[in-house]
Amino acid sequence: MNQKVIILPSIMCSTPQNMGAFVQAFEQNEIPAIHFDVMDGHYVANVMMGVRDYQFLKSITHIPIDLHLMCTEPEMFVEYMNPQPGDWVSFHPETARNPYRLLQAIRDRGCKAGIALSPGIPIAYIEEMAGVLDFVLVMSINPGFAGQKLVPDHPNKLKRIHEMIVRSGKSIQVFIDGNTTIQNARMMLANGADGLVVGTSSILKGGPEFFTEQYAAYIKEICEEKGE
């Protein structure tokens, strides 16, 4: 198994009935963080996962939570969610009043700070905020709903992001969110991704048992084309 590839399973793909079983499967496979989508019905046309869901997860696991704020005024949602030290927090910079300051505030909480880039959003945000960025979450689909197809220009954008980070000289990780099938994941890794958010298009579609059965095989298969 290649430990260099970071897998972040999306808890949005669970149900209230099997969330606990998924978390147990994540713990057994030593997942570094659980991806947690917060949608406000304004930035995206969906409403998903709130404070109680987050608090429940924190009560049953020590795995860090990777909060992805698909919200307008993410500053307000950081206060609502109250992420704890060790958690990861990303937001869409075009929705923030002061994205640089918000990244600083997230870091001050003891969390990893990141920005999420939707299709069509310029990658220049990375260059301007590289000094306070821990990671970038690149959306390979339009945010809001699972199960969509990749946007056509995703590989090129990912490659440009990787090159920009290399030029910056900063240690900034790149994660991809959206349609991370085996074939797509190989392409994403080849173009500079460090990790993948996985959901219904990959190894969460069959429930907690399926995830445990397929996790190691998924990593092996997506890394084969890289020669690892």
In this structure, are residues 178 and 152 in contact, taking their beta carbons and an 8 Å threshold?
no
Distance between CA atoms of residues 189 and 176, nearest Å: 9
Strand-strand pairing, 47-48 and 34-40: antiparallel
Distance between CA atoms of residues 55 and 58, nearest Å: 5
Burial 113-124 (b: 16+ CB within 10 A, else e): bbbbbbbebebe
Report the candidate in 193, 199, 198 with the shortest Cα–Cα distance to residue 225: 193
Give the DSSP per-residue string, 82-142. -PPTT-EEEE-GGG-SSHHHHHHHHHHTT-EEEEEE-TTS-THHHHHHGGG-SEEEEESS-
Supply φ then ψ for residue 201, to 5 degrees: -85, -5
Residues annotated as catalytic are 37, 177
In this structure, are residues 131 and 109 in contact, taking their beta carbons and an 8 Å threshold?
no
